[in-house]
Amino acid sequence: MTFNPDGMYLWEQYVFGNYIFDASGKFLSGTGNYQEETGTFVDDGSAITFSPTVSSCPGADPPYTLTYTTDGTNLLLDRPEGTATYAPEDTSVSAPGTAIVEIVTGCFAADGSFTSGVPASVN
């Protein structure tokens, strides 16, 4: 999750699978599914109200509010399915190398199934 000073946010979810490694165990390629939501946010100090403007899930996406706490530098966001912990990105780690990963954009359903689709305006 990325929060920008201009009041915009980006939420992303990736699920990867079908990994291919060479004989030495080096990762060569894989596939993955990706869901995204962007919009505006307002933080009142204990809850964040998200107002989606673009989503890879079809249909209306009304504003919603989630409470949160912090634990050190981590953000603990209370989502309906449980608490999600977001840690700052570790920019000190160098890229492990080059691999081919095919990513399909779309929407995850509550049961975990995935439908491909393109990000579109909501509301």
In this predicted model, what pLDDT tens digit does every residue of 41-82 receive, in sequence order?
Answer: 999 999 999 999 999 998 878 999 999 999 999 999 998 888
Nearest residue to 22 via CA among 100, 77, 87: 100
R_g over Cα of the chain: 17
pLDDT band with cut points at 50, 70 and 90 for residue 17: confident
pLDDT value for 96:
62
pTM of the model: 0.80
